Amino acid sequence: MSENQSLADLNEDERELAGMVREFAEQVVAPQAYEADRTHTLNIDVVRQMGDLGLFGLPFPEEHGGQGGDYLALGIAIEALARVDQSIAITLEAGVSLGAMPIHRFGTEEQKAEYLPSLLAGEALAGFGLTEPEAGSDAGATRTTARLDGGEWVIDGTKQFITNSGTPITRFVTVTAVTGESEGRKEISTIIVPNGTPGFTVEPAYDKVGWNASDTHPLTLQGVRVPEGNLLGVRGHGFRNFLSILDEGRIAIAALATGAAEGCLEAAVDYARQRTVFGAALSTRQNAQFTLARMRARVHTARLAWHHAARLRDAGKPFAEEAAIAKLVAGDAAMDNARDATQIFGGNGFMNEYPVARHYRDSKILEIGEGTTEVQLLVIARALGLAG
């Protein structure tokens, strides 16, 4: 697929951003992707270079060190990175959507002034501690607790699958915790917990199927004490606030999935042209052509879906259903294209040094993280008035 096709509906500034990040991805990110995946290492130098390019500040106002852009701009950057390395792309996505965005949306002016400049510059990362062993899709089942004692929150609980929580530049994790009850329901709030706080333990990193160069850890909080002023947003609004962040995050994940699907397509097209089978290029075989055509259609559809959701969000219009549709369609596209690209590559597609093999392992999480496929279907069904 030509680059011009992928940029057809973008304005001049958006095209320039896409071209810049695409060049950075090919020249800086791609060369280190295999070794980073093999060694399960997040390349902090690459993260800092993304910060120098302004990628972590794309959708934030200039007053806090942002670029004054929007969510479409962020998605453009994430998509371009995901073509070559999903681990780096998710580091950016989580750093913005789950790290900095909650501070920007719900923080006090003091919290914004303290945390946003370093986060938006790529000098620091932050995580969002929501998921627990018994609270995933049902995040309302949170068991972590926080109580006030002498002007401090005392937090006890565990979190799992927390991205960007244990890097050398991780500054804090925002955790959800039950802070009481209201009308018979759990009162869930969000609290900022700086890394290094006594009782806050970042456990050893997971041994994952994919996204091996992305930083992901379980967390343990035992008698963790932080100032009462570390409450993020209104007490009891933590779960509600998270849901609004999650809708935006689904757009970003859909952009990531689209980039992965496109990366698989481009690699498969190049390989099919070079690979000779029974005396002719594989690309001349109709079966291969039809496979590649379907892959192209998936990329096109996924991009339309996430662009539409992003433009609705940036225009201040309702977008939750469209974000769910985008994540559903793009997640399927990434997984299907990874499978088809691996088949095109044959035995080479089973070798990790080839990007399609990494995409095949990486893409499965796109049907799980930021809300499973089943959750997206539930959101869409509710929008149709079909689910309670």
Catalytic residue list: 370
Count of CB atoms within 10 A of residue 244's CB? 15
Six-digit token pair at 18? Answer: 């896409």
Q: State how far the alpha carbon of 246 is from the alpha carbons of 130, 241, 259, 372, in Å.
A: 11, 9, 20, 12
* Dihedral pair phi/psi, residue 174, rounded to 5°: -90, 120
Residue 336 and residue 358: Cα distance in Å, rounded? 14
279: left (phi over 0), alpha (psi -120 to 50) or beta: left
Contact between residue 251 and residue 324 where contact means Cβ atoms under 8 Å apart = no
> What stretch of H or E contains 273?
helix 238-274
Positive or negative CA dihedral for 18, 19, 24, 25?
positive
